Amino acid sequence: MPISTTSAVRRLTAMAMVAYFGFSLRKGAVTAFSFATFAGRATGTRASSTLASSSSPLKPAFARRSQCEAPGYNFALSSTLAVESMDVEHPAFEVIQKDFVSEYGAATTLYRHKKSGAELLSVSNDDENKVFGITFRTPPEDSTGVPHILEHSVLCGSRKYKTKDPFVQLLQGSLQTFLNAFTYPDRTCYVVASQNEKDFYNLVNVYTDAVFHPRAINDPMVHAQEGWHLELENKEDPLTYKGVVYNEMKGVYSSPDSLLNRASQRSIFPDTTYGVDSGGDPKVIPDLSFEQFAAFHGKFYHPSNSRIYFCGDDDVYKRLELMDEYLSEFDALPEAKPASVVPWQKKVYTEPKREQYPYPIGADQPETHMVMVNWLMNDEPFTAFEELTIGIMDRLLMGTTSSILRKTLTESGLGESIVGGGLSDELLQATFSVGLKGVKPEDVPKVEQLIYDTLDKVVEEGFEEDDIASSMNTVEFQLREFNTGSFPKGLSFMLGAMTKWLYDESPTEALKFEKPLAELKAKIEESGSQVFQDMIKKYIVNNTHRTTVELVPSTSLEAEETKEEQDRLAQIKAGLSDSELEEIIEKTKKLKELQAAEDTPEERATIPALELKDLKRETTEYPIAVSENENGSGVTVLRHELASTSGIAYGALAVDLSNLAVDDIPLLPLFTRVMMETGAGPYDQVALSRQIGIHTGGISVSTLTTAVHPNGSDESTVVDGNHLQTKLMVRGKATSDKTDKLFEFMKLILTEANLDSKTRVIEILKEQKSRAESTIRGSGHAAANMRMKARYRVGGYIDEMMSGISQLETIKKLLKQAEEDWPSLLARLENMRNVILDTDYCRDGMILDVTGDAGVLESVQPAINEFLTSLPGKSDGKKLPNFYTEEHPWVPRLKELMAELAPIEDEGFVVPTQVSYVGKGGLVFEEGDKVTGAAQVVARFLRTGYLWDHVRVMGGAYGGFCTFSPYSGFFSFLSYRDPNLAKTIDVYDAAADAVLTAAEQLKDDPDALAQAIIGTIGDMDGALSPDQKGFTAMQRWLINESAEHRQSYREQILDTKPEDFKAFGERLKSLKKPSVAVISSQGSFEKAAEQGKEMKLKTVL
């Protein structure tokens, strides 16, 4: 995983794939998806993310290529091979359509399997990150969550693959770059990806057998485990509901934002499948019977209702041959497709509707409302031109902080932050939603009116020319660059195709943008803004199929819902006879026994697996050339020459922060946002945003802090963490002919950002407060882990100050200061910039990092020379400390604060929620201890084995996992949307014994050991985009990590032995300085205290 996020764990639920769900401009959220690992991937051999952090990743903004076409990634085969791949035939398939998507160099052929009726889209290109997907149209009729529960369940064993959870076996021992499944309101997708062909086809086989022949439809225990069941161990105990999806959705329904979004979708679709919750409403999930569950599979999981997808550089005939093996035993089912058709919701409202619902808040929280206005935009298909135009329209209204509707609402002072986000167009019909949260009750009507007035104004006055130019250039570059990061390009391609294919239209038409883009450019040339004004008037302003959903705060809702569930269960129990109670007790016992049972060697042998010999032993290295004091500038320039970056230059300027006062560290998240969102130099906020959109591929400002290896130190030992690099990062990208403009804006933002923007700063702080509260409530495991890490190393404490629970307290104080004493806050911000850009010191700490191909690097050199000359500071100024030999100047004060504010103790943070996020951590290695790569294998083995089984499968949590840093020796256990608290801590406490037992078992099970090793290597070898490769090389250089050490660490992983498990287990058993951090409800903490798990409590929300 790149080390450009605040914490590795923040990626556990960051769900990076969601950023690319859909193609081009499409926006929309999946209902739910299976919890795989979400632990991310290591780009270095020692899980580099554990050393460094950054307050925010590069923002996804894009640009144009001046007067000529913007470049696109050419991941096509040669034209001859592309044509050949389109002409591949197979006797079991008929060809429906051939198409070459020139925009992405993709040769596509759409086949239909003659016997089963299944459709298969074959996409050929030279992308080694091969992707397979199978999608079923699965519109539910109610909110029992049956498609979501089935999505979880089909991966729990099948006809050919006999283990109780093949999904986990694949996680444990595959080189997969993507392995998951997800449920939309009208479809269910199963997707795998791998760069290794043998591994890829192993994954394809397991997933295909799983969807067509799952154990789940014949075994009620799977439905009970993954969906819901009544649990009772003793007659005198109260009945409880358990189930993975049940608890997952209780967590979802604890989130006010989720409640608002779900209520809004229901309101706008009163007559179709989109009006129910495919993920499942916890109050309705227990109404789903096993028979209904199995029948849903029988109705929708037939090949005639499937859409099968391949993409990559593998052989087309092999794809068809493999699929025929599975499909040939099915006969076509003509009624399958008609039975799954998603009907259109007609615009039936002749006047707007209003709905109101409660949402849970803590007793000390302000009783503010949430309000969102929603439109159903179309009740007949859009043309490709309309789709593109509406996407650009959405960007003009909502796409950036300077977009008119978003900016007007934000600046109104009527609420804390935006909700809705504008256009959602990934389903059959598009919707548009926008509103505010943190609204005073009396201001709710004002919010609505402001939305209507702003839209009326746009219809009347239109958009400015440079606003349109900026949005057009941004979107066009986004389409052409097609930069999906480490997310498989083929999956993004598939999800885009599905937006048409799912509704029985051509899958490739959704991927073509040249024609509608040219048409839109011509329209703009002809009539300017009018095309967008007409769209807004037709689909929004004059559209009466509109709803307003308001959420009203309730301090008692959490308790009411808990009591409602308890009363329902008590009523059920009261109506049961003794024999029926005994039956539930017996089923509970049987389920636990099945969950605890180990798969037999014969069952495990059915899962196809790689062998160690299939792995490459060499670490992947990325090019880096270091030029110190380039041109006598005092600045170090790093260059990364890649084979091709399609004419794009990626740049990052790092500026040292070590002279800042420690008390200013918590202000850095605010400082970096202010730099980007208040204007700079001659440009106000709006003008700067537009100029960046017109001339560059996007610019962002963030921070990066990382512990480093001291010079001469043993890289395999735990570091004290007192040697740090702390940088302000200004990152961006542009086509090579626009690099001069990129550097010009980077410098302007760095040196002349308009810090004196009281109104905007207050808006930013309100947004940050709302965001932090949502994060703590919805991703409590990340907050818990960050809190624990803060107790052991200064780097962890810095992360907590900037992104953790304590940052929320800082935001509240800063908001009060901004409102009541702006001059004092402004003085702090201005002083921070003055210190960072101190003339005597700043050049010494500057690093310019540039990634491009040979042609790009050559063409941008004049711009680099000019940029280095223009930067602030003296080229021969004073020297900063050598952070590889000297302790960072922040360390003494940080240690004082850690002792006072982050002592090693058990803490509980109270929020209104129906689930818990349980963390426990400590040091398995201490300073000076030697750590080998084998430790990474053991940690991963725990995460995908013992913790998966005991926290998720048996405990019913949505996720259970662990993190380990070989740099600090810190190890943590974490759970996600967990129905338990005390029991989960007991599971953690028994983990060491589980490792020791595994150590003995692995002596006689070399295959299981090999799978653990393979999975660990797979985590390290994820696919990276060009900018990620360059930034990874820069980070490796910055932490002072050698290629020799990375190679040694990889070899240690490959050579892991059972004895390494024993050694790690013994260390885990004597975990040093253990402590707990939990996010949960007051009631759960009280129950845990009764069970002997007492913590120091603090109410957060």
Is the Cβ–Cβ distance between 157 and 215 less than 8 Å?
Answer: yes
d(C-alpha 102, C-alpha 88), whole Å: 19
d(C-alpha 1063, C-alpha 107), whole Å: 52
β-pair type (119-124, 959-964): unpaired
- Eight-class DSSP state of 1058: H
Is the Cβ–Cβ distance between 37 and 82 less than 8 Å?
Answer: no
Is the Cβ–Cβ distance between 1029 and 851 less than 8 Å?
Answer: yes
The one catalytic residue in 226, 561, 677, 715 is: 226
Those residues whose C-beta lies under 8 Å from the C-beta of residue 209, and which sit 6 or more positions away, are 158, 159, 160, 161, 326
d(C-alpha 379, C-alpha 342), whole Å: 12
The one catalytic residue in 151, 426, 476, 641 is: 151
Structure tokens at 261: 């979004």
Classify residue 429 by burial, with Cβ atoms within 10 Å: 0-12, 13-18, 19+.
Answer: buried
Beta-strand runs (E) in 942-1036:
959-964, 970-976
Structure tokens at 944: 């995908």
Q: Closest Cα to residue 1030, out of 640, 451, 503?
A: 640
Task: Give pairs for 165-171: CB < 8 Å, separation 24+.
Answer: 165/948, 165/953, 166/206, 166/210, 166/607, 167/34, 167/36, 168/944, 168/945, 168/948, 169/604, 169/607, 169/609, 169/1011, 170/202, 170/203, 170/206, 170/607, 171/36, 171/37, 171/944, 171/1015
Classify residue 237 by burial, with Cβ atoms within 10 Å: 0-12, 13-18, 19+.
Answer: exposed
b (16+ CB within 10 A) / e for 884-923: eeeebbbbeebeebbeeebebebbbbbbbbbbbbbbbbbb
β-pair type (1096-1099, 907-910): parallel
- Residue whose token pair is 């032995």: 1057
Is the Cβ–Cβ distance between 675 and 837 less than 8 Å?
Answer: no
Number of helices (H) and strands (E) in the chain: give both, helices first.
40, 28
Whether 151 is a known active-site residue: answer yes
- Eight-class DSSP state of 600: P
- Please, how many CA atoms are within 13 Å of residue 393, restricted to the half-sphere of its CB? 28
- Residue whose token pair is 């849970």: 360
Helix, strand, or coil (residue 1078)? strand
β-pair type (1072-1080, 917-923): antiparallel
Question: CA-based diameter of the chain, in Å?
Answer: 88
Helix 822-836 and helix 668-677, axial crossing angle in degrees, nearest 10: 90
d(C-alpha 779, C-alpha 1065), whole Å: 29
Helix, strand, or coil (residue 644)? coil
Whether 752 is a known active-site residue: answer no
> 358 has which bridge partners?
552
Phi and psi dihedrals of 300, rounded to 5?
A: -110, -20
Q: Which amino acid is at 48?
A: S
Q: What is the DSSP string of 364-394?
A: TS---EEEEEEEE--SSPPPHHHHHHHHHHH
User: Catalytic residue positions?
Assistant: 151, 226
